[in-house]
Every structure is written in structure tokens, then in C-alpha cells.
Amino acid sequence: MSSSPSNLMSSENLSSNNTAPTATTLIHRPRRLRRTATLRRMVQETTLTVDDLIYPMFVMEGEEQKMEITSMPGCYRYTLDLLLQEIAEVSRLGVGAVALFPVIPEIKKDDTGSESYNSEGLVQQAVKAIKQAVPNILVITDVALDPFTTHGHDGIVDENGVILNDATVEVLVKMAVSQAAAGADMVAPSDMMDGRVGAIRKALDAEGYIDVRILAYSAKYASAYYGPFRDALDSAPKFGDKKTYQMDAANATEAIKEVALDIAEGADIVMVKPALAYLDIICQVKKKTLLPVAAYNVSGEYAMIKAAAQMGWIDEKKVMLETLISMKRAGADLILTYFAKEVALILANS
């Protein structure tokens, strides 16, 4: 048998007992560890498990309806009855937590988002029902005003269009406390107002909710990747953009500052959002904190994969898994992803 270099590289040769002298005298041959599937599994540095996944879900008013979100194929707005069935199913698949987002009818929106702290509001009712029907699953509620405001901003807006920080934090505090009262396991401020984590922690503790955790959207960027999510909730800002509160895509050091502040204020888990275009931020944050780090694989990241797959241009399953493992590799301990159910199904059958 010839031992020419090209022949050594061929796949038939990989399994043969090749004793012929090689053309080079390499000391290190990293490919040795890649030769068999078993070995590759044994030296694999990162794994994706169902325990890493948090499933973001959309709830709407009404009964016995689900509406697919056009720009997020495979994702639906569910009425509460159908949401409960879906949650029971993902719980059986091993998913540990869902993150709830409400679709609020226009008529219930106002300038200050007061529906957000209605003790009988959609989120509050949903939390109560989920905790009763599927007690094992953790329920994470979003703390931000955008689904509840007529203007679509995450905060209270003054007559000049300025988003007011401290006035907004007062509403966020009421919202978080009402979610905790409904039974939320974890509240997740996604608004990017300054000081909200500390204010929410203080209020939760004062009301006796010392064990309700805070998942802080610490490094949340002003991103065009949120487009499909805003379609889902019909929550796109009616004027301007979110750049005076969400972060500039060009900044990394500032993300570390935001994370440090949220930790100092009492966050239990810190988050980077979006994930895919911000893997470097996930990596830097992970190195700087002892807390678990979450990453949000956002709606636009989901939509891109779905769209390319529908065109037949990429292998959806492989690209999905490669994308999610990249987030784990970057340092994410937890991933919020609309792929959670699909991944859980794949992992359950593998």
C-alpha cells in the first residue's frame, strides 16, 4: 500500500493499521482524538442539555386558539387553555422553565402601562394557572412596559419624548411585585432602566418575596434582531427607537459595567441579549462574574434559521444545534430560545 500523504488523508486509511513510515515527523497530531465518534464524544468540551433551556412563550386572551407568528414559524400566541397544554408537554420533555410574554389588546394599553400591575391581568392569571397545572416548571415573567404602553416604549414618556427613568422604575416595581404575588418564580427586568434591579429586589423583600429570583437583562442591546418578537406582541415603538435605554452594539466594556451594577443591586442571574452577534460579550461577562450567565437567542436569530431552512439553503437541525452550542461554548449557562421544544425533542430521542 502506498504511503503518500494524500493516501494517508483518505478515509479508508483511517481505520487501517498503518505502520508505514510517514512523510513527516509531527509530534502533535490533534486529529488522533477525532478519529472515532466515541473518542470525539469523550473529548467534547461543551454539551447542550435540556437543563440549559428556557422556553419563551406568548400568551393571549381568549379560549381555544393558537395563532402562528408569521415571522417566527413554529411559534404561536396561545390562549391560556392551550398554553397550559403546551407547557405540560414541554415540561414532560424536561424543559425546566418558560418565560412568558403577553399579547395585550390595544384597548388595555395606556401611556403608563398600568395594566402591567393589574392583579387580574393576563400575565398574573397565566402564572397562577401554570403554577397550578404544571407546578414543576419554573415561570419567569418579563418586567418591562412595552407590551402595555400605547407608544410601545419600555418606559414612561414625557411630553418631549424622553423616556423617564425613575418614574418608570416605580411602575416596574409594582409590576414585579404583582407577578411575584401571582406566583412567579423569577422576574426578568428587560427594560434597561437604571437602578431597577435594586428597586425590585428591595420591594420583593419588603413584601416577603425573598425567594423570588431576579434574572436581569443586564447587557441588552438596541437590536434589529428583535423585529419578529415585536410582530408577535404588536409592540414596536410608535416613535423613535430604544437607543436611549438599550445598549449600543459597538460597546463591550459598557456591558461589563451594566452587569457589575446589576450584580451589586442583587441580580441572581445576568443575561446578554441578543446572543449570536454578541458571543464575545457572553464570553467576557462569563469571565467577570460568579453568577450564572444567560443568553437570549432572540426572535430574529430564530427567524433567520427558519427562513433559510424553508428556502432549502441550510440544514435546519444542524445549524440550530451548532448555533446553540456556540452560545454554551462562549460561556452561557442558560439559553432562552424559541428552539427549546425542538431541541428537547431531539435530545429526548438521541
Cite the active site residues: 220, 273
Strand partners, 39: none
Binding to ligand PBG by CB under 6 A, coded x per residue (else -) over 229-258, reads xx-----------x----------------
154 belongs to the binding site for ligand PBG (CB under 6 A): yes
Site string for ligand PBG, 179-198 (x = CB under 6 A): -----------xx-------
Among the residue ranges 59-67, 142-150, 310-318, 340-348, the one whose residues contact ligand PBG (CB under 6 A) = 142-150
Question: CA of 152: how far to CAs of 162, 240, 246, 314, in Å?
Answer: 13, 10, 14, 35
Cβ-based neighbours of 156, under 8 Å, separated by 6 or more: 111, 112, 113, 145, 163, 164, 167, 168, 171
339 binds ligand PBG (CB under 6 A): no
Phi, psi of 79 (to 5 degrees): -75, 160
Nearer to ligand PBG, 91 or 299 (CB): 299
Q: Which stretch binds ligand PBG (CB under 6 A): 73-81, 120-128, 140-148, 160-168?
A: 140-148
Sign of CA dihedral 234, 236, 239, 242: positive
Measured distance CA(31)–CA(5) in Å, rounded: 15
Counting residues that bind ligand PBG (by CB under 6 A) gives 12
Site for ligand PBG in 18-77 (CB under 6 A): none
Residue 16 CA: distances (Å) to CA of 1, 8, 9, 11, 20 = 11, 10, 12, 10, 11
Q: Is 75 left (phi over 0), alpha (psi -120 to 50) or beta?
A: beta
- Taking residues 254 to 293 in sequence order and writing x for each that binds ligand PBG by CB under 6 A, - otherwise, the string is ----------------------------------------
178 or 190: CB nearest ligand PBG? 190
298 is a contact residue toward ligand PBG (CB under 6 A): yes
Interaction between residue 226 and ligand PBG (CB under 6 A): yes
- When asked if residue 149 is in the footprint of ligand PBG (CB under 6 A), the reply is no
DSSP string, 167-235: HHHHHHHHHHHHHHHHT-SEEEE-S--TTHHHHHHHHHHHTT-TT-EEEEEEEEB--GGGHHHHHHHT-
Closest approach, Cβ 71 to ligand PBG, in A, equals 10
Q: Which amino acid is at 263?
A: I
DSSP helix/strand/coil, 108: helix
For ligand PBG, the binding residue among 98, 116, 121, 142 (CB under 6 A) is 142
**Residue numbers of the site for ligand PBG (CB under 6 A)?**
142, 144, 146, 154, 190-191, 226, 229-230, 242, 298-299
